[in-house]
Amino acid sequence: MEWDGLTDREQFGERYRQERDHFADLARDADWDAVFEELGERPGWANLPRPGIRSGFAPLHQAAWHGADFAVVSRLIAHGAWRTQRTRDGRRAVDVARERGHTHLLELLEPVEVRPLPAPAGELERNFHALLRDRSGRCFERTEHVLPPLSPLTEGPAVSIVFPVVGMMGGFTYRLEQDHLYVNGHSRMDFGDGSHYRVTATGWSEI
């Protein structure tokens, strides 16, 4: 799965931006057959909003907005859609469905914690973000990114997420281990497989 935190649409290549806009249009228009056809070719796109974030509505939020069939929402979740993902104004898909009166989706969309974050979760996420800022150099100064939350990692037993960073020619891949967060910083310029980090609620260190 991929977390897209880039807020400037102009940083995306034109062709990629058009493909992402098309995918966002399909979800906006509730063309679910076409959405699933796209996800068959690009499975990592299940949680991507329109490029540049804007509302932050990913396909699952759009399904909640439209009151899609139970089977459609189940299939999006099976494709890896995150029930914990929030829009720019802080709403999860279950919140959108509740506001729209789509009660048939509320139980399905309620986030389920399959794997808890090492406590205290807030400190773990703060240290994760501190690592990202430190290891990305000046990339975040040149281009604004929304840093990824850790909550999606709780939605499955082995969730792995890629966070591309403009300026790094790569980014970060992260996942939960038994008692810590494992982070791999990587770039196309690396001769090996990049740098590896261990993040806990008390800090982070290179492995």
15 and 105 share one domain = yes
Could you tell me if 81 and 136 lie in one domain? no
Residue 130 lies in a domain: yes
**Parent domain of 136:** 121-206
Q: Which of 81, 109, 137 is the last residue of a domain?
A: 109
Q: Same structural domain for residues 102 and 139?
A: no
Residue 115 counted as domain residue:
no
Residue 38 has pLDDT above 80, yes or no: yes
Residue 139 domain-assigned?
A: yes
- Does a structural domain hold residue 2? no
Query: How many independent structural domains does the chain possess?
Result: 2
Average pLDDT over residues 47-59: 90
114 domain-assigned? no
Mark which of 51, 82, 109 sits at the end of a domain: 109
Residues 164 and 103 in one domain: no
Q: Examine the pLDDT at 128 and tell me if it is beyond 70.
A: yes
Q: Work out the mean pLDDT of the chain and round it to a whole number.
A: 94
* 204: alpha, beta or left? (left if phi > 0; alpha if psi -120 to 50): beta
Which CATH number belongs to the domain containing residue 37 in this structure? 1.25.40.20
1 in a domain, yes or no?
A: no
pLDDT confidence of 168, banded at 50, 70, 90? confident
What mean pLDDT is predicted for residues 25-31?
98
Instruction: For residues 193 and 99, give the distance between their C-alpha atoms in angstroms, rounded to a whole number.
Output: 45
Q: Please report whether residue 3 resides in a domain.
A: no
Per-residue model confidence as pLDDT tens digits over 62-78: 999 999 999 999 999 99
Please check whether residues 135 and 174 belong to one and the same domain: yes
Q: 155 and 194, same structural domain?
A: yes
What is the strand order of the sheet 181-187 is part of? Answer: 160-165, 170-176, 181-187, 195-200, 203-206
- CA angle 105/106/110 to nearest 5° reads 120
Residues 105 and 127 in one domain: no
The DSSP-derived string for 125-164 is: HHHHHHHHHHHTTTHHHHS-BPPPPSGGGGGSTT-EEEEE
**Which band of pLDDT confidence, cut at 50, 70 and 90, is reported for residue 191?**
low
Residue 204 · residue 198 · CB < 8 Å? yes
Residues 149 and 181 in one domain: yes
What percentage of the chain reaches a pLDDT higher than 70?
99
Average pLDDT over residues 14-40: 97
